[in-house]
Amino acid sequence: MISDVHANLPALEAVLESIEGVGPEEVWCLGDVVGYGAQPDACAALVRDRCAFSLNGNHDLAVTGEIDAGTFSETARAAVDWTRGHASAMTLEFLTGLAPQGERAGFGLFHASPRDPIWEYVLSIDQAEAGLDAQQQRICLIGHSHVALFFTRPPSSGRRRFATGAQAGEGDEIELDEGEWLLNPGSVGQPRDGDPRAAWLELDTEARTARWHRVPYDTVAAGAVILEAGLPPALAERLQIGR
């Protein structure tokens, strides 16, 4: 499970190599294939070829013109404008053919949240409660926040249930056999949890377990591509610190 690639080719290649080492049956992508980074075509081609199922995210939708980027930050808008001028017709066609939500093997997949698949950041217990209330599947995967984390709520027992959650680190593994869950794999191309390593989530759909992975990659090289493209320097600098 991958999310928030953001046109960062060195990170995506490192993650896909790590995934190959595990050997899953399928790779799923939760969206934001482009945006922020400067290699949209190469990343879109890899996602198209290597992922059995893909969503699009708010940055993808802004690049294809399906949503207004007016609410984006200045750097995000600059990346949208740059990508619109540099992405190939094949990349735009691929992104246009995707949706921000879906289902695979009985798991709900959302770019942002079950309540709002495009825009909502799920970072707090209150937001998680709302998402758990809205979801139809017991286990759902979400992206968008760029933070590797999970939220869960126990099975119904006739009493009021409360959600709990935590940030997930490298190698953390949880069992999903009971309760309701929201799982975020973290970001491939622009982590924001203080760990600059690219993130992905290993999901065992039969054993009902989830395990988070972090993968080092050449953040300097990725930043250099961003700077050479003339994108805002902050987009390159943040890769070094994972924020």
Question: Could you read off the pLDDT of 97-148 as tens digits, one per residue?
Answer: 999 999 999 999 999 999 999 999 999 999 999 999 999 999 999 999 999 9
**For 107-229, where are the alpha helices, taking DSSP H only?**
125-134, 219-228
User: CA nearest 222: which of 9, 40, 34, 4?
Assistant: 9
Locate 46 and state its tokens. 């890899």
Residue 105 forms part of a structural domain: yes
Residue 23 forms part of a structural domain: yes
pLDDT of residue 91: 98
pLDDT of residue 1: 95
Work out the number of other CB atoms within 10 angstroms of the CB of residue 197.
Answer: 18
pLDDT of residue 157: 66
Name the phi and psi angles at 148, rounded to 5: -75, 120
pLDDT of residue 3: 98
pLDDT of residue 162: 87
Residue 183 forms part of a structural domain: yes
Distance separating alpha carbons of residues 171 and 184, to the nearest angstrom: 14
Domain range for 163 is 9-240
Residue 132 forms part of a structural domain: yes
Ranges under pLDDT 70 in the chain: 157-159
Enclosing H/E stretch for 152:
strand 148-153
Question: How many domains are there within the chain?
Answer: 1
pLDDT of residue 234: 97
Cβ 205 vs Cβ 20: under 8 Å? no
Cα angle: 110, vertex 113, 115; to 5 degrees: 115
Q: What is the CATH number of the domain that holds 215?
A: 3.60.21.10
Residue 65 forms part of a structural domain: yes
Cβ 193 vs Cβ 202: under 8 Å? no
Residue 1 forms part of a structural domain: no
Residue 3 forms part of a structural domain: no
pLDDT of residue 20: 95
Residue 77 forms part of a structural domain: yes
pLDDT of residue 158: 62
Cβ 209 vs Cβ 175: under 8 Å? yes
CA 100 to chain centre: 11
Q: What SS3 class is residue 53?
A: strand
